[in-house]
Structure 1
Amino acid sequence: MAGHSAGGSGGRITGLGGIFYRVKDPAASRAWYREVLGLDGEYGPQLAWADEPRAHPYSLISHFGDDSYIQPGTGGFMINLRVDDLAGFVADLRAKGVDILGEADEGYGRFAWLLDPDGVKIELWEQVEDRLP
């Protein structure tokens, strides 16, 4: 899944990293995805993408019992987008005046967050190949 550059010399979006949303019972939702759709993984239902050039790429569906991870987004869900060069992409966004809410390196990937014009939180994720979940 090819993406488009943010307009600068940095990275680009390469695909959908995942969808994150609030549910009443995360364990029951995860069990349904596992039992009915056959999707499971360490962090929730995972979809592997065998046709991607990166080793072991996947997208994730993640259920939360509250919306603290989604905040300060106001859309009730969060969109996770995969990027190939997080530092470059974030630099391009900042050059455009975009407010980056935070950044983190979790070992298996690097993350940055921003809000879209409608208040939906967007998480940018650069997957680290050698430390996959």
Structure 2
Amino acid sequence: MSSQDLKRVTGLGGFFFKCENPNAIKEWYKNHLGIPVDQYGWTFWWKDKEGNDCSTQWSPFDANTNYFSPSEKPFMMNYRVHDLEALLKALTEEGVTIVGDIETYDYGKFGWILDLEGNKIELWEPNDSAFL
């Protein structure tokens, strides 16, 4: 399969942002917007066009987090991908900056890249069944 035929982003995996007080922000969203937050924020559950259960994570992070590094932006997008290893290989060949190594957890694999303006982007090959 050529890199042009490679299935790339399949959905929004999450939106992460820095704030001064993550717990206060979560409470504000809970009280004013009815978001039933947990220790990480909130997980939106939805079904893809094939009817598979999927999730998108919304999470506030402490303003001093290093998780978004080397980006200095106050946010980070997470995109769901089909085959993380193949995609990172193709992106490397295309000259995209890869940040760190792939990390694997029971809920999926993660990799990171930088976009043209230095925004860190998290790529997630999910295992949504780990959440069910």
TM-score range with shorter-chain normalisation?
0.7 to 0.9
- Who is 1:114 aligned against? 113
Write the deviation string for residues 52-71 of structure 1: whole angstroms up to 9, x where unpaired. Answer: 53643111111111231111
* Structure 1 equivalent of residue 53 of structure 2: 56
1:44 matches 2:58 = no
Q: Distance in 2 between matches of 1:36 and 1:48?
A: 20
CA distance in structure 2 between the aligned counterparts of 1:54 and 1:86, rounded to whole angstroms: 22
What is the percent sequence identity of the aligned residues? Answer: 36
Unaligned runs of 5+ in 2: none
Match of 2:4 among 8, 19, 32: 8
Q: Does 1:126 align with 2:120?
A: no
TM-score scaled to structure 2, two decimals?
A: 0.83
Please state which structure has a larger fraction of its residues in strand: 2
What SS does structure 2 have at the residue aligned with 1:60?
A: strand
Listed as ranges, the gaps of 5+ residues in structure 1 are: 1-6
1:71 corresponds to: 69
Corresponding position of 1:18: 14
Residues 1:18 and 1:100: Cα distance change in structure 2 (over 3 Å): same
The question of whether the paired residues in 2 share the 8 Å contact of 1:104 and 1:110 is answered with yes
Distance 1:74 1:53 in 2: 37
Does residue 103 of structure 2 align to residue 104 of structure 1? yes
Counterpart code for 1:112 = G
What SS class does the counterpart of residue 100 from structure 1 fall into? strand
Once the two structures are TM-superposed, the CA of residue 51 in structure 1 deviates from its matched residue by 4.4
- 1:67 and 1:76 in contact (8 A); partners too: no
Task: Note the C-alpha offset of 1:23.
Answer: 0.5
Cα pair 1:33 1:45 within 8 Å, conserved: no
Aligned residues: 128
> Distance in 1 between the 2:6 and 2:38 partners?
31
Q: Distance in 1 between matches of 2:74 and 2:104?
A: 24
2: distance between equivalents of 1:54 and 1:123? Answer: 24
Quote the Cα distance in structure 2 between the aligned partners of 1:129 and 1:48: 10
